[in-house]
Amino acid sequence: MNKKRKVTGMIKYVFVGLVGVAMITPFYWLISASLMTLQEFLSVPPKWIPSDPQWHNYVEVFKHVPFLNYYFNSFVVAILSTVMVLLTSAMGGYAFAKLNFIGKKLLFKFTLSTMMFPAFLFLIPNFYIITKFGWTSNYLALVMPFAVSAYGIFLLRQFIMGIPSDLIDAAKIDGASQFAIFFRIIIPLTQPALATLAILSFIGQWNNFLWPLIITSFSPELTTVPVGLSKLSLAFSTYTNQNLILAGTVLEIAPVVALFLYLQRYYIKGIVLTGFGGI
Amino acid sequence: MKIPMKSSRRENLAAYVFLSPILLFFAIFFAFAVGFSVWISFREWDMLISPLDAVFVGPSNYVVLFSDPLFVSSLVNTVIYAFSTTIAVVILSLLIAVALNNLRYSAVWRFIYFAPVVTPAVAIGIIWSYLYNPSRGIVNEVLGWLGIPAHNWLTDPHYALMAIIIVAVWAGMGASILIFTAGLRAIPQSYYEAARIDGATKVKMFFSITLPLIKPTTLFLSVTGMIGAWQVFDLIYIMGTNAPASSVQVISLYIYKTAFVNLQMGSASAAAMILFAIVLVTTLFTLGIFRKGGIESYE
């Protein structure tokens, strides 16, 4: 019996360990290869460890491609859309959670139902709308289609419903307006949920690829990190500094992994609460 | 029991002020957009003329799609991708979550499995394109140690889609493991203790206690996974460029190319409507299951 339990325990560790190695190896290889010279990188059979780490690969990336631009664009877009999503989600979440109004049930159902529509249905109409508004060549093109998130409204509504209504009633008796209640009571008490939504939204936008791909094919000056890297990597055969792309890839991953490590518990709460990895 | 409060005029006004940015957004980027898609899917439009001048062609965009072998193969590939990715992710992550439960350093393990979830799909695609390189990629190298012959993973039409599915499973497991772990923790330990006293084996406990009690989570992950998988784009865009299109292309890529490379907005919109129909059927199917399973928390 005891022996048998030990054996199952061993199998468990071997299984978890083997899959764990498979999970980590690609990341290990990425970092290792990003520090190789081109010769080492191209060697057959592949090398696992750079003989002399080429840290300057990370500097070269910035020299050979407008990586700083990509970085700046990605940050602006991710931050702007996160701020918009936080604001609109908090406003919508509050209205749906604590206010009584005509059409509430219907509007809430409608909001949830918009989540069923695949992003691909909106590519063409959104592109048309953006051109009509004359936004094609500025950040609004990348931010506005993501300014409202049904998921975010839902998440905050669930959270705000948990705030005792007594607090709001007490403030009302003291003569506070709806806006004072929203900014002085709701927003401060909703901070954990806002943090969850902020990190989900930032990572979602940082990693967003398809929409920026379309917009930047018309306005290359708006190129974000994923789009810039994809262009470089697909133009590979002709590119002589292939190992630099890997340094770029490390730089693409770094901000989101750092953010995730820093705000891990909020991120995980969002995933477990709703079951989705992104927005 | 909540007593519905009568809504006052002021409260109505306040609510609609709070909702106004959202309603404006939905009016433009949702209602108008969906209507526009439907309208264009029955017309021929190249985006260079006004959509109002687009020629009405009836349902022919839809009909033509099904006579386009590339669309049909995209549809087939999407179905293969969605089912194999979802099934593999659910089974593997359940097994891993069970193995991780009560294991030492489980938080560290979970982080390791979770890393690909936050990593941009583009980065994952780039990394794996190198790993799959036939001569200097480490995939063939490692398989070589095990005596498995080398393949041209991403260029051979027989292997390309499978190779991408493996990456999607690798990248997607982390989130499901996390949700399964939460589900496993909700199962009362007393059930397992009772079973242990009765002399049940671990395998028996897994099939008679864990599996039935974790069923709502399994269903939820299967369907949300499926809805995401129908729309896969990034990985295929990055990793599928060197294989024949008929062997790896999925609907989303078909829509993208038809619209923004060939400027055939009509047929692209028709294809998007078909993708929407697939997602809608999947979602309604899920909601049905949720209602039956008594999950009403979304109301």
pLDDT tens readout for residues B141-162: 899 899 888 889 998 999 999 9
Hey, are the CB atoms on B113 and A206 less than 8 Å from each other? no
Give the pLDDT of residue A254.
Answer: 92
Q: Which of A160-164, A193-197, B253-257, B289-293 has the highest mean pLDDT?
A: B253-257
- Spatial CA neighbour of A193 closest among A152, A164, A150, A149: A152
Hey, are the CB atoms on A118 and B112 less than 8 Å from each other? no
CA–CA distance, A84 with A143 (Å, rounded to integer): 9
Token pair of B56 as six digits: 């009405």
Which chain A residues have a beta carbon less than 8 Å from that of B118? 203, 207, 256-257, 260, 267
Hey, are the CB atoms on A210 and B298 less than 8 Å from each other? no
Residue A87 lies in a domain: yes
Residue A58 lies in a domain: no
Hey, are the CB atoms on A117 and B30 less than 8 Å from each other? yes
Give the pLDDT of residue A16.
Answer: 85
Chain A, nearest residue to B240 by Cα: A234
Instruction: Report the gap between the CA of A116 and the closest CA in chain B (Å).
Output: 6
Hey, are the CB atoms on B33 and A122 less than 8 Å from each other? yes
Instruction: Report the gap between the CA of B136 and the closest CA in chain A (Å).
Output: 5
Residue A52 lies in a domain: no
Which chain A residues have a beta carbon less than 8 Å from that of B168? none
Give the pLDDT of residue A188.
Answer: 93
CA–CA distance, A133 with B223 (Å, rounded to integer): 37
Average pLDDT over residues B90-102: 89
Give the pLDDT of residue B290.
Answer: 61
Backbone angles phi, psi at B44, to 5 degrees: -105, 115
Average pLDDT over residues B68-83: 95
Hey, are the CB atoms on A121 and B14 less than 8 Å from each other? no
Give the pLDDT of residue A277.
Answer: 45
Residue A14 lies in a domain: no
Hey, are the CB atoms on B118 and A245 less than 8 Å from each other? no
Residue A244 lies in a domain: yes
Residue B167, pLDDT > 90, answer yes
Peptide bond before residue A45 is cis, with ω within 30 degrees of 0 = yes
Interacting residues of B294 by C-beta distance below 8 A, sequence separation 6+: none
Chain A, nearest residue to B2 by Cα: A165
CA dist B169 → A21, B172, B202 (Å): 15, 5, 26
Looking at this protein, which amino acid is placed at residue A5?
A: R
Higher pLDDT, B144 or A76: A76
The secondary structure of A126-169 as a DSSP string is: HHHHHHHHT-TTSTHHHHGGGS--HHHHHHHHHHHHTS-HHHHH
Instruction: Report the gap between the CA of A89 and the closest CA in chain B (Å).
Output: 8
CA–CA distance, A89 with B99 (Å, rounded to integer): 38
pLDDT tens for A99-143 read 999 999 999 999 988 988 888 999 999 999 999 999 989 999 999
Alpha helices by DSSP H, B132-231? 138-145, 160-185, 189-197, 202-205, 211-213, 215-230
Give the pLDDT of residue B299.
Answer: 32
Token pair of B52 as six digits: 């109002």
Interacting residues of A189 by C-beta distance below 8 A, sequence separation 6+: A163, A167
Q: Which of A52-56, B34-38, B51-55, B225-229 has the highest mean pLDDT?
A: B34-38
CA dist B225 → A276, B82, B88, B216, B228 (Å): 9, 8, 11, 14, 5
Backbone angles phi, psi at B43, to 5 degrees: -135, 170
Give the pLDDT of residue A3.
Answer: 66
CA–CA distance, A45 with B138 (Å, rounded to integer): 8
Total residues belonging to chain B: 299
Give the pLDDT of residue B2.
Answer: 43
- Residue B198 burial class via C-beta count within 10 angstroms: exposed 0-12, middle 13-18, buried 19 and up: exposed
Give the pLDDT of residue A139.
Answer: 95
Residue A48 lies in a domain: no
Question: Predicted confidence band at A23 (pLDDT cuts at 50, 70, 90)?
Answer: very high
Q: Which of B29, B170, B260 sits opposite A214 (nearest CB)?
A: B260
| Domain span holding position A84 | 65-274
pLDDT tens for A160-201 read 998 888 888 999 898 888 889 999 999 999 998 899 899 889
CA dist A193 → A86, A154, A197, A201, A276 (Å): 10, 11, 6, 12, 15
Q: How many CB pairs under 8 A join A and B?
A: 254
Specify the fold of B67-292: MetI-like fold (1.10.3720)
pLDDT tens for B189-222 read 899 999 999 988 888 898 999 988 888 888 888 8
Hey, are the CB atoms on B275 and A121 less than 8 Å from each other? yes
Interacting residues of B145 by C-beta distance below 8 A, sequence separation 6+: none
Q: How many Å from the N-terminal Cα to the C-terminal Cα in chain A?
A: 48
Q: Which of A46, A91, A182 sits opposite B136 (nearest CB)?
A: A46
Query: How crowded is residue B57: how many other Cβ atoms within 10 Å of its Cβ?
Result: 16
Q: Which of B127, B268, B269 sits opposite A26 (nearest CB)?
A: B127
What is the torsion angle, in degrees rounded to the nearest 10, for the CA atoms of residue A114, residue A119, residue A123 and residue A124?
Answer: -50
Residue A173 lies in a domain: yes
CA–CA distance, B191 with B32 (Å, rounded to integer): 53
Which chain B residues have a beta carbon less than 8 Å from that of A92? 18-19, 22
DSSP state of B219: H
Question: Predicted confidence band at B182 (pLDDT cuts at 50, 70, 90)?
Answer: confident
Average pLDDT over residues A42-60: 86
Looking at this protein, which amino acid is placed at residue B285?
A: F
CATH number for the domain including A218? 1.10.3720.10
DSSP state of B210: I
Question: Predicted confidence band at A97 (pLDDT cuts at 50, 70, 90)?
Answer: very high
Give the pLDDT of residue A273.
Answer: 65
Higher pLDDT, B285 or B264: B264
Cβ–Cβ < 8 Å for B179, B221: yes
Hey, are the CB atoms on B122 and A226 less than 8 Å from each other? yes
Chain A, nearest residue to B100 by Cα: A16
Chain A, nearest residue to B233 by Cα: A210
Which chain B residues have a beta carbon less than 8 Å from that of A276? 175, 224
State the total domains in chain A. 1
Would you say the C-alpha torsion B278, B279, B281, B282 has a positive or negative sign? Answer: positive
Best B2, B11, B28, B30 member to test A by mutation, with max A CBs in 10 Å, is B30
Would you say the C-alpha torsion B167, B275, B234, A240 has a positive or negative sign? Answer: positive
Higher pLDDT, B291 or B202: B202
Residue B4, pLDDT > 50, answer no
pLDDT tens for A250-279 read 999 999 988 888 887 777 777 766 655 443
Token pair of B44 as six digits: 């021929």
| 3-state secondary structure (DSSP) of residue B240 | coil
CA angle centred on A227, ends A224 and A229, rounded to 5°:
105
Question: Predicted confidence band at B1 (pLDDT cuts at 50, 70, 90)?
Answer: very low
Token pair of B256 as six digits: 């993208």
Q: Which of A16, A95, A104 sits opposite B99 (nearest CB)?
A: A16
